[in-house]
Amino acid sequence: MNAPWMEKYRWMRFPLAVFAMSRVAIVLLSHWGLRIDPRLHRGAAILDHPGVDSLCWWDCGWFVRIAQLGYQDPLWSNFFPLFPLLGRWLHQLTGMPLPYALVLWANLFGAAGLVVTYRLFEALEGESVARTGVALLAAWPFSFFHATGYPESLMFLTSVTAIYLALRGRHLWAGVVLGVGILGRHLTVVAGLSLLVMQLLERGRKPLRFVFHPAFLGLVLPFVVAGTYSVFLAYRFGDPLAFLHARSEGWGEGAWYGLGQYFSDTSRWEPQIHAYVVLSAIPGVGALALLSRRQWWGLAGFGVGLMIALWCIGLLGLGRYTQACWPAFLPMAYLLEKYPDFRTPVITAFAMLQGLFLFLFTHSYPIN
């Protein structure tokens, strides 16, 4: 007979099983893909453990550098501090190489994110929709970034946890969690729109009643917590907005490209950008579908807000960024539960595309 605590947490088995199977697939594909074809698209390196080493390309190198050296240049402030700080702590505690420490943190956050997402989807639409939603999210072509040395899974975990807490009426804790998430990934701030929508649904739109309520502090706390980074930057570089200036001046205009620049001249872009734009329509439609049911409106604040932001200024990372739009997978799962014959083909198609983009990423093709 199972112990009472095992029965209490039995619901966690499915999201953790999805996580475990997806990570086995990611590591095996990364390992064997590089054993079969060890050539790298850009640069060269000796990978002692290809299944893990190849999960720390591109921006992961910046986080490793910051974890090693701290913020040596204002340009580096574009990369927010919590993720490299956690990597540094784990490295100092265990002696684990920094790239591996970052990859381990990312996977721990990814596992926890799937568990909380399952719980949230289950609360809104029941067990079957939650199962399908988590499977869809794990299979999404760019969800492998939750297994790489990037803070994407940290944003995933903190945004879904903050929204789940707000759904349960715990607005102050939601604000704290969201602030922590912003310290890891600046785009997490968009989840504040969901916290705002949930409070409006809960208390109405009368200004005095809305503002002069203890829960309103939950909308302020994210900026208070995240503001500690600006305090540090003011002390370190004399510029509390160094991260914003670094993005504009260090990476130039390309950091702000959106669909407007893409459609103005589609012939100028590398092949993966075309794939990003086409595939972004899927979470885009999913996010808009959140507006169709009142119980989804809280999630729509983040889902719709994020997709608008990505389409306006996120072109060059539009693939990777779409994995953050986890609310969009709730309407997809809801629809697939109504038409279950399409469930397995859709999840399989997502997973096959993920394998393709993962293969390109691990071979140092600019999928970032």
In a domain, 119, yes or no: yes
**pTM metric for this prediction:** 0.96
Matching residue, tokens 């917590």: 225
In a domain, 250, yes or no: no
**Count of domains observed in the chain:** 1
Range of the domain at 321: 10-34+49-244+255-362
In a domain, 5, yes or no: no
In a domain, 320, yes or no: yes
What pLDDT band is residue 218 in, cutting at 50, 70 and 90? very high
CA atoms within 13 A on the CB side of 357: 25
Long-range Cβ contacts of 216-219 (<8 Å, 24+ apart): 217/171, 217/172, 217/175, 218/166, 218/171, 218/172, 218/173, 218/174, 218/175, 219/171, 219/175, 219/192, 219/195
In a domain, 21, yes or no: yes
Supply the pLDDT for residue 368: 83
In a domain, 367, yes or no: no
Q: What percent of the chain has pLDDT over 70?
A: 97
| Residues in contact with 112: Cβ distance below 8 Å, sequence separation at least 6, in sequence order | 157
pLDDT tens digits along 40-72: 988 766 677 888 999 999 999 999 999 999 999
- The single-letter DSSP state of residue 357 is H
| Residues in contact with 280: Cβ distance below 8 Å, sequence separation at least 6, in sequence order | 307, 310, 311, 318, 319, 322
For 227, the token pair is: 């503001």
In a domain, 249, yes or no: no
What pLDDT band is residue 6 in, cutting at 50, 70 and 90? low
In a domain, 298, yes or no: yes
